Structure 1
Amino acid sequence: MSKSFQVSRRTAIAALAAAAASISTSASAEDFELKVSHFLPPNHTFQKELARWGEELEKASGGRLKLKLYPAAQLGPPQRQFDIVRSGVADISIGLTGSTPGRYPVTEIVSEAYVAPSGGTASALTSRRMTELMPTYLASEYPGMKVLWGMVTAPLKFHTARVALRKADDFKGLRIRYAGEQFAEVISALGAAPLAVPPGETQDGLAKGIIDGATFPYEGAQSFDLGTVVKYSMEPGVSTATFIAVMNPKKFEALPKDLQDIIEKSTGPEMAARFGTALDNAEKAGREYMVAKGVEITTMPPEELNKIKGRLGALLEKRLDALEKGGKPARKFYADYIK
């Protein structure tokens, strides 16, 4: 073999190695933009916290990983938020479990009336607790999705346009917009008629008298500007709304390992608690907004509130029994959640 051929061969090998290294470096340095969907308005706490998360991901990745947010159901209606992640329309979404009743049955236990950990109803606590229990009890309810974290709102209040709720029987005959099938059961058990009204149409429905009341946490009532159309809000709240942040697993697996690690480190119980804290702050601000709009905060005497709790407690037992008969670890999850 001639010396010149050996030199040429070594040169070619070196060039190929350099090209391969260049391709590898280029691939690892590729930029990625993830589509993030939710159905709440752009002024909602979720939008603000997702934007904050996006800034953190971009900084941690040196600008290689970015989020593009699609609020207000741009990519799909509330009941499709989980499906659009499974299908790949969105890469990440925050879905409301109550919008598809019966699909996530163990998760829905969290939203039963007066169910909360012994430490209280603060969203920072309830969101963290639910997320901590996900690997054991809940993740299997979300096939085709990678669960990132969960969020539990403050207990939803009854906001009414014309009738103050001061006694258990004051619910009778009212038409109330509900947030999920469980709240429909609650409303029916109290003697009112549950009506399915999209969140964005609630204000108009109240103003026109199509509905007499609606169920929202204060932060949600502020987001949809209900303080302009209701006169009363009843405390304490009754049931919570449960949201789950999920990601398309194929999209996650297609990311370079270092970007996967960044996502993993930024999600889970800590992120749940952070979103929960933001919800708690928004709940306080929402209550202040309602009072500033002239809304009267009403309460019931203990004996009247106990009547409500008695009627609604039967719904929880009925759900737990049905899930246990179906082979679900309902009572174990419930016991661990309320510790």
Structure 2
Amino acid sequence: MTTRRAFLAGLGAACAAPLIPSVSRADEANTVLTATDVHVADYPTVNAVKWIGETMDRETNGRVRLRQYHSGQLGRESEAIDMARFGAIDMTRVYAGALNNAFPLTTALCLPYAFDSVAHMRHALDSGVAQTVLDGFGTRDLVGMAVYDSGARCFYNTRHPIVTPKDLHGLKLRVASSDMFIDLVRLLGANPTPMSLGDTFSGMETHMIDGAENNMRSFHSSRHFEAAHYWSQSEHSYAPDILLISRRSLDALRPGDRDLLIDTARASVPVMRKMWDESEGAARQQVADYGIEFNDVDMDAFLTAAQPIRDRYLQQPELQALYRRIRDLA
């Protein structure tokens, strides 16, 4: 059985010998691609990649199949990105915020209040914004295959409702390892604490942190609602998820299989969205039944407070151009 240790060992070997060509999988009778995700087995992104695997298996008569490792079995998202870059794994689904520092164009998708709603986000992504971002991955041994939206990110915590930015003052909040999200949370008055998703629950239970920011589906699937009883509908970001494949792995496929995989990944987007919409509604109902306290926020106050972050990052011409496209599609 493949373990996280074995995969990390493979990554080390790949890093140590970058000039050694990878084995051509196209010469093998069957190709088994590995895919990772930190989310649980029934999470929409996991099921969407499962759908890709089932489609590839069926369309190639079993010649190309996927083996999935969900629930962070092979490590954190930052580790998965590096493993994919060096060919130790083939595919991974990661949160766009974890990619901001290495792939700046992804920042446009994560900026506070760049999108007005799920409908706006999906319209913008489908109108060419997603493809522009995906095209930016080729410079670092990765290929962007699909952008999976993941709802509105909101604040939740163990202390009290958050209505205005001043209610965040003094709170220690888990954030992704993204300079932009760290800057945003600090600007709003909280103390940002970069931490993996898997460590967040214990961080709240042990009072290392007071809360976090994430979407409703992750709030439910990670059981964070059992520790943080206050959900505040800030909708401060609609940062999506991105499905990546190692350039080395993609190039090793037969040309026809390569094209089929890319087309299937694109076709998985509406499949994922349907599963997302259904599961997000169910998750919200379940956490409400648990007794979570929901509240709206002063949206104008948050928009005003976040403006300096947008102004700072939009000084970069490429980000400004992409952001302008997003806003024009609102």
**Deviates most, 159-168 or 209-218:** 159-168
Deviation string for 1:102-154 (max 9, x for gaps)? 2111111111111116xx32497168437x33444552344211221112321
Q: Is the 8 A contact 2:165 2:301 kept in 1?
A: yes
CA distance in 2, matches of 1:200, 1:193: 19
How many angstroms does 1:271 deviate by?
Answer: 2.7
Residue 122 and residue 276 in structure 1: after superposition, are their counterparts in 2 closer, same or farther (change >3 A)?
Answer: farther
> What is the distance in 1 between the residues matched to 2:124 and 2:64?
26
For 1:47 and 1:299, the matched residues in 2 are separated by: 30
Q: Which consecutive aligned stretches of 4+ in structure 1 deviate over 6 angstroms post-superposition?
A: none
Q: 1:139 matched to which residue of 2?
A: 135
**Shift of residue 180 of structure 1?**
3.9
- Residues in 2 aligned to 1:333 and 1:201: alpha-carbon distance in whole angstroms: 33
Contact 2:94 2:243 in 1 (8 A): yes
Question: Which range moved further: 198-207 or 235-244?
Answer: 235-244
Return the offset for 1:256.
2.3
TM-score, structure 1 normalization: 0.81
Given the two structures, how large is their TM-score scaled by the length of structure 2? 0.83
Higher-Rg member (1/2) = 1
Q: Distance in 2 between matches of 1:116 and 1:52?
A: 28
Which of residues 180, 185, 206 in structure 2 aligns to 1:187? 185
Task: For structure 1, list consecutive stretches of 5 or more residues without a partner in the other structure.
Answer: 1-26
User: Alpha-carbon deviation of 1:100?
Assistant: 4.6
Alpha-carbon distance in 1 for matches of 2:169, 2:204: 17
SS of alignment partner, residue 104 of structure 2: coil
Picking from 230, 234, 239, the partner of 2:232 is 234
Number of aligned positions between the proteins: 301
Alignment of structure 1 residues 237-316 onto 2, 5 Å: 237-268=235-266, 270-300=267-297, 304-316=298-310
Which residue identity is paired with 2:323?
Y
Identity of aligned residues (%): 19
Deviation at 1:33? 0.7
- 1:71 — aligned with what? 70
- Assess if the C-alpha contact under 8 Å between 1:149 and 1:244 holds in 2: yes
Provide the secondary structure at the position in 2 that maps to 1:149.
strand
Deviation, structure 1 residue 96: 2.6
Structure 2: distance between partners of 1:336 and 1:183: 22
Identify which range, 304-313 or 248-257, moves more after superposition: 248-257
Tell me how large the CA RMSD over aligned residues is: 2.3
For structure 2, the 5+ residue unaligned runs are 1-25
Superposition deviation, residue 94 in structure 1: 1.4
1:127 touches 1:150 (CA, 8 Å); kept in 2? no
Is the Cα–Cα contact under 8 Å of residues 91 and 248 in structure 1 kept in the other structure?
Answer: yes
